[in-house]
A and B are shown apart, each in its own frame.
Chain A
Amino acid sequence: MSFNLALVPRREVSLLRQVLTPVLALVVALLIGGLIVWMMGRSPAKAFDVFLREPLTDPWALQEVLLKSTPLMLISIGLIFCFRANRWNIGAEGQFLLGGMFGGGVAIATHGLSGPWILPLMMLAGALGGMLYAAIPAALRNRFGISEILTSLMLVYVAELLLDYLVRGPWRDPKGFNFPQSVPFTDAAQLQPLFEGGRLHAGFVLALLAVLVAILVFRRSLFGFAVKASGEAPRAANFAGFNEKRITLVVFLISGGLAGLAGMIEVSGQVGQLRPGFGQGLGFTAIIVAFLGRLSPVGAMLSSFVIAVLLIGAESAQVSLKLPFDLTRFFMGLLLIAVLAGESLNRYRLEFRKETA
């Protein structure tokens, strides 16, 4: 006698179940995370306090959370277009960096000038930088059939090296004591706070706008339908006459454009100059955000907040609890696995079968 574990597809999944699943996944991830913290000899209760309560209750920390969620939201919304179409853009980090470099380049070129046209120009340049960079893997796939997974990922490292070169070479601040960084941007090239004494800037509004537009595109537009069809059933998309290569290019351009815009917003609104490592891996984290949000625009918005809370919590946990930052990455992975497992169990039922040989 042997036992067999089988996955049996479910016919229908109730709405309540679909809503509760991510919540339950979060609880499971928290429990396992708490166990790990406890095994490391720290108090799980205190860790939760630092990780989750403080960022959500302290007004200053809450603003930081919204700021941190801004690039995550922009990038993940773009990634949803790719992933829904079953195109795998893993290189949002590189497109984010290029956006920062293009936008920052405009800031450096206009250094000393002022005027309300500088910021919009930087935004355009940032989006353009991301689009151009994302067009490379799309073109390679369309022309030569090369896997976009590999090319988009490898281009991240090229982007990092390019940034390194620029801030050590041509764009190095002459008065910067030889540190690898550009001149600090003037006020005209920095996104200003939305309200007095705060830090939150217009980038957050743009991110919310991107969410709204994405909702509309996927619910009501022919293009959103074409993206979905192309991802779910390529032969049906072909039957509909949706051009496969054009869809590849357009979803990469959207994704790269939003990542580039996010990069410009990060250097202009947060960092205030170009320096290595401003990417912080946000382009990779956004992949987790997109899947945590189950590839829906609203879901991506909510999960951007969740991940931002964790990232901000992690910063203070490093200080107050001496918990390593890697723990946060570990926890994000845990969360993703829990959500994906929940998703699978929604679609399939586990069945133990007894089998007589």
Chain B
Amino acid sequence: MGPERIRLSGITKAFGALKANDHVDLTLHAGEIHALLGENGAGKSTLMKILYGLLRPDSGEIRINGQRVSLPSPQAARAQGIGMVFQHFSLFEDFTALENIAIPLEGRIADAALRAQVEAKARHFGLAIDLDRPVHTLSAGERQRIEILRALMQEPQVLILDEPTSVLTPDEAEALFATLDTLAEEGAGILFISHKLEEVRRLCSRATILRGGKVVAETDPRAVSAAELAALMVGEGVLDLRPAAAHALGEPLLHLDGLSVAPEGVHGVALQDIHLTVQAGEVVAIAGVAGNGQSELYAAISGEGGRVTAGRVTMAGQDVTRRDINARRALGAAFVPEARLGQATLPQGPLSENVILSWHATESLGRWLLDKVRIGEVARTVISRFDVRTPSADPQAAQLSGGNLQKYVVGREIERQPRLMVVDQPSWGVDARAATHIRQTLLDLAAKGAAVLVISQDLDEVMVMADRIAVMHGGNLSAARPVSALSRAEIGLLMTQGESPARGAA
């Protein structure tokens, strides 16, 4: 191991009564790729924000290269050689890659001199980018490479990456790992935040695990199993999914027949000739990198949008192509959209009021006036039955953590006892414990005879949940195959290249 780059000792930060970081110690050496693991709310983001100068600790000290420093702002952190790549990109869509790289560099413009430097850097680290294309034409992986190049232009000694692979295909992730390996070999220290334990074990030589704001372990992730790491993150062995007992499949409840849909918005994707059937009792998953037409597919199935240009959507034997979401609910369908806040719920509305959104058309909530007592009962039932942790009895949706709100939204739909459940990104940005809970709930629903369709960009999730998997690529959907007939590599290939005609015919 190289010399010590960063030593955090006794870092404590409280928000009101909540201690987000409680005497956290962490040491990062030159040449080390160090994982920071923990559930959502474990304090990872707070710690990284402190290190990047976005938050100030209540107590504790930060040493960089042995010197005690204070980091009042990101500028100060950058001056100390710390770079950060955020989970959500901050790029200007209409500017080219090169212009985006030039923007944060003080006193630099996108000229030939900068281009030469950027090209040299990109070549050195194996980051393939067309510098002249506007950002809105680039894939998530390409955008991330811009963010990384941007950080590298400042010659950082320490690079922080916050869940960098969440939007990448397996191949893109491999390319990123190669870049990070090179960077570490040349003496930079890298802090790698991720939920994905397999890739942490592949990439990192140390891991610090946070739970409830405290460091619960520091370990070599290659020396322990992914299951052991997960157990450290959540405490107990709560992560195991109980697979459903063998059960017979029933009638087809959702059938897409040659469905074509116009793209949504300027960056949307047109769907072409989609075929899919989901039967009662099975879980079908649609894998794929985000932005390959999943939004259009979800909207067309739920009836929230999606201009169908050809083909049919059939639910429980009835053609619903031209019918609205409530007509589909009346046939026993339930929907969980991608955005928890602002789509599945009214952010400022209490949880009880949010019952009305998906219940009003099909369940009895009062004849003339809304029955507030009944609505409150439904909300309380969902909260207790689906283990939703709330700060008060009936809080606003926006006051819940992502995981708890997602449990509420999924629970609200399951409480309607649907025959067909369509879920877009069931556990996106949700911590491991809540994700397991949600997946188990959906598996149980299918075991009881409902048809479940899951759209997810999380390959691990797709693999553990689905009976059959179809892959979305460029607006096309591959044939759904039994999960046992597919390897991760095959799915990766389908995600990046789609289905080759020869194969589709086979």
Contacts and interface: CB of A to CB of B under 8 A. Distances in A.
A229 interface: yes
Contacts of A241: 303, 324-326, 329, 361
A235 B370 contact: no
B496 interface: no
A239 B344 contact: yes
Interface in B64-85: 72-73, 75-76
A54 B356 CA distance: 49
B369 interface: yes
A305 to B, nearest CB: 28
Nearest to A355: B73
Given A221-B369, A229-B346, A239 B73 contact: no
Interface string A199-220: 0000000000000000010001
B199 interface: no
Interface stretch (B44-52, B155-163, B234-242, B334-342): B334-342
Contacts of B365: 222
A236 B357 contact: yes
Contacts of B263: none
A356 B72 contact: yes
A331 interface: no
Given A225-B353, A241-B324, A232 B348 contact: yes
A92 B308 CA distance: 39
A250 to B, nearest CB: 16
B358 A240 contact: yes
A222 B337 CA distance: 22
B360 A240 contact: yes
A29 to B, nearest CB: 28
A243 B324 CA distance: 9
A233 interface: yes
B464 to A, nearest CB: 27
Contacts of B343: 233, 235-236, 238-239
A233 B304 contact: no
A357 B79 CA distance: 11
B358 to A, nearest CB: 7
B8 to A, nearest CB: 21
Contacts of A229: 346, 349, 357
B247 interface: no
A220 B372 contact: yes
Contact of A236 (B305, B324, B342, B361): B342
A355 B361 contact: no
A15 to B, nearest CB: 15
Interface in A228-273: 228-229, 232-233, 235-236, 238-241, 243
A216 B370 CA distance: 10
A240 B346 CA distance: 10
Contacts of B335: 239
Contact of B73 (A221, A222, A233, A356): A356
A78 B330 CA distance: 33
Interface residues of A, number: 19
B208 interface: no
Interface in B157-198: none
Interface in B279-306: 302-305
B376 interface: no
A108 B121 CA distance: 85
Contacts of A220: 369-370, 372
B345 interface: yes
A350 B208 CA distance: 37
A225 B370 contact: yes
A148 to B, nearest CB: 22
Contact of A238 (B304, B329, B345): B304
B252 interface: no
B347 interface: yes
Nearest to A243: B324
A357 B329 CA distance: 57
A357 to B, nearest CB: 8
Contacts of B348: 232
A114 B378 CA distance: 57
B358 A221 contact: no
Interface string A326-357: 00000000000000000000000000000111
Interface in B60-115: 72-73, 75-76
- The winner among A216, A222, A241 for most chain B CB atoms within 10 A is A241
Contacts of A222: 356, 360, 365, 370
Contacts of A228: 346, 349
Nearest to B371: A220
A238 B305 contact: yes
Contacts of A238: 304-305, 325, 343
Contacts of A216: 369
B72 A232 contact: no
Interface in B368-397: 368-370, 372
A221 B360 CA distance: 11
A321 B343 CA distance: 56
Nearest to A354: B72
Nearest to B70: A356
A240 B357 contact: yes
Contacts of A239: 302, 304, 325, 335, 337, 343-344, 357-358
Given A238-B304, A240-B357, A232 B349 contact: yes
A356 B69 CA distance: 14
B72 A355 contact: yes
Contacts of B369: 216, 220-221
Interface string A128-172: 000000000000000000000000000000000000000000000
Contacts of A233: 342-343, 345-347
Given A220-B369, A241-B361, A235 B339 contact: yes
A247 to B, nearest CB: 14
A315 to B, nearest CB: 41
A229 B347 CA distance: 10
A100 B379 CA distance: 48
Contacts of B326: 241
B408 to A, nearest CB: 14
A337 B149 CA distance: 47
B347 A221 contact: no
Nearest to B399: A11
A232 B346 contact: yes
A146 to B, nearest CB: 20
Nearest to B73: A355
Contacts of A356: 72-73, 76
Contacts of A355: 72-73
Given A233-B342, A236-B343, A355-B72, 5 more contacts: A232-B346, A238-B304, A239-B337, A239-B357, A240-B361
5 nearest A-B residue pairs (beta carbon):
A241-B326, A240-B357, A220-B369, A235-B343, A241-B325
Interface of B: 72-73, 75-76, 302-305, 324-326, 329, 335, 337, 339, 342-349, 353, 356-358, 360-361, 365, 368-370, 372
21 contacts: A220-B370, A220-B372, A221-B370, A222-B356, A222-B365, A222-B370, A225-B356, A225-B370, A232-B347, A233-B345, A235-B339, A236-B343, A236-B344, A239-B304, A239-B335, A239-B337, A239-B344, A243-B324, A355-B72, A355-B73, A357-B75
